[in-house]
Amino acid sequence: MFTLLLLFSLLLSCRAHKVGLILPAYAPTTSAAIKDVAEYTLSELGSELILVTREYSLTYLSLLDTICELLDEEVVAIVSASDSTSTAVEADVTSQFHIPYIAAVATDPYLKTADRDFLLFLTPSDKYQSEAIFEILKKYNWLEFSILASADDYGINGIVYLQYLATRDSNFNIRTSSTLTLARIRTRLM
């Protein structure tokens, strides 16, 4: 709550502030769309916010360099389109500087910790997706099912919570639970 109040107070002040935007260079279409939305949002706010955009590659060193560049620019908040794994690294750094970090796409329910007090989410956690899937299973009385998910933070956290929900109710039986890496999915599709 404190972080939200801090962010709104920054938006309402009359002084110009810089807001950092971290985009993954390996996803140019997604990055371009997020940048367009951010620029449009800032223009609609009518405040004097300046968007400082930086891209990073697949390495953690590149990610940390990008964060340091934004900190050198004296941004007052950072918005990121990073996945949950990268968000953990970014939030660990920015929280130490008391910089609000807004995760645009991360959904890992375990990202929010006491050490990451300045971390805000724009998307619902995997926990809610798992609850929705479980409600569908209950509604259609699908008592026996298998789980197939991606082998990343998104899929693994979804599996774990869906398994937890199913084991709490003795009516349900999970036949199998598997993950696929993106490389395995691409190979099978070709």
Tens of pLDDT along 6-22? 555 555 554 678 889 88
pLDDT digits (tens, 9 = 90+) for 42-90: 777 766 778 888 988 878 898 899 999 999 999 999 998 888 888 888 9
Tokens of 134: 């479980």
Q: CA distances (Å), 155 to each of 118, 121, 145, 162, 176, in order?
A: 25, 18, 16, 10, 15
In this structure, the number of other CB atoms found within 10 A of the CB of residue 106 comes to 27
Q: Which long-range contacts (CB under 8 A, 24 or more apart) does 170-177 make?
A: 171/143, 172/137, 172/143, 172/144, 172/145, 173/143, 173/144, 173/145, 174/144, 174/145, 174/146, 174/147, 175/144, 175/145, 175/146, 176/146, 176/147, 177/146, 177/147
